[in-house]
Amino acid sequence: MSEVVAAVDCGTNTIKLLVTGPEGELVREMRMVRLGQDVDRTGRLSDDALARTFAAVDEYAGLVKAHGVERLRVCATSATRDAANADVFAAGVRARLGVEPEVLSGAEEAALAFGGAVRHLAVAPALPVLVVDIGGGSTELVLGDETPTAAHSMDIGAVRLHERHALSDPPTAAEVAALLADVDAALDACPVDPAAAATVVGVAGTVTTLAAGVLGLAAYDRTAIDQAVLAVSDVQALAERLVAMTVAERLALPWMHPGRADVIGAGALILGRVLERSGTDRLVVSEADILDGIAWSLA
């Protein structure tokens, strides 16, 4: 890369910044802002959520300026696709960063996530590859070889399902069953068949957090998690444990980010169902995701 570029990915739960230049990665930041709080119920971005998000964007604007960024791309995903007042978000980003945020379609989001995850892998995977991107508002399944051949975005993200099913602390058996029925209905309607994959690669916070737990890390460690190959049986066992825990118990786990503790159970249930349908016994975890795909699109 011959110039300094920056990518911003604003999702339902997090907003991330990546700055790269000729020497490689310069900045990688993430803030938990829960932009999509209550969007599934109200159809609008709340004032509090916008304030949290704009505070993070102000911080990122300072980093972009400090690093002399020459080109910047800001992409927004599920929450802003669904919000009636997405123009307020767009105007706030434009005022702070000087660029128009692109509200990605599900297909665009899927393609960028696939590019970020697969291009990053150090060991060539068996083809075809299924990239599973579980976000706060949506889950993308992308199947492909060097490029995507089939992709679909489902409205079953971790935050969305946690709020939609008003999960107790801890969830009841009936609540878990209802949530799983929701996931199964989305997967039944999904044109991308997980069973078609030779390799399954998981990206984004739900997957990387579960990886930290399976690996038994003393703290979240991006280097240890990236490109880890996990037994699906271990992932499923941890998912069951997390779902049964209270939020306080999850917060006590050394690798758990506080901003994920309430919704990780819903995310784990989504991942578990996808892995069941894939039939694979291994999950490859990638720390590179849609954010890296956005940055590479500027190269």
Q: What residue segments make up the domains of the chain, in order of their start?
A: 5-103, 121-289
| Number of separate helices (H) and strands (E) present in the chain | 13, 11
Please state, for a pLDDT cut of 90, what percent of the chain lies above it: 83
Give the pLDDT score at 147. 85
Predicted confidence band at 178 (pLDDT cuts at 50, 70, 90)? very high
Options 3.40.190.80, 3.30.420.40, 3.40.50.410, 3.40.50.1100; CATH for 5-103 is 3.30.420.40
Give the pLDDT score at 299. 78
Give the mean model confidence (pLDDT) for residues 153-177. Answer: 94
Residues in a beta bridge with 201: 131, 284
Are 140 and 186 in contact by the 8 Å Cβ rule? The answer is no
What are the distances in angstroms from CA 260 to CA 162, 186, 209, 242, 284? 11, 23, 9, 12, 21
Other Cβ atoms closer than 10 A to 219? 9
Equal fold, 5-103 vs 121-289:
yes
Rounded to whole angstroms, the Cα distance separating 201 from 275 reads 10
What are the distances in angstroms from CA 202 to CA 44, 136, 155, 219? 29, 15, 17, 20
Identify the CATH class of 121-289.
alpha beta
Rounded to whole angstroms, the Cα distance separating 22 from 153 reads 33
Confidence check: pLDDT of 242 > 80? yes
Rounded to whole angstroms, the Cα distance separating 199 from 150 reads 15
Whole-angstrom distance between the N-terminal and C-terminal Cα of the chain?
Answer: 6
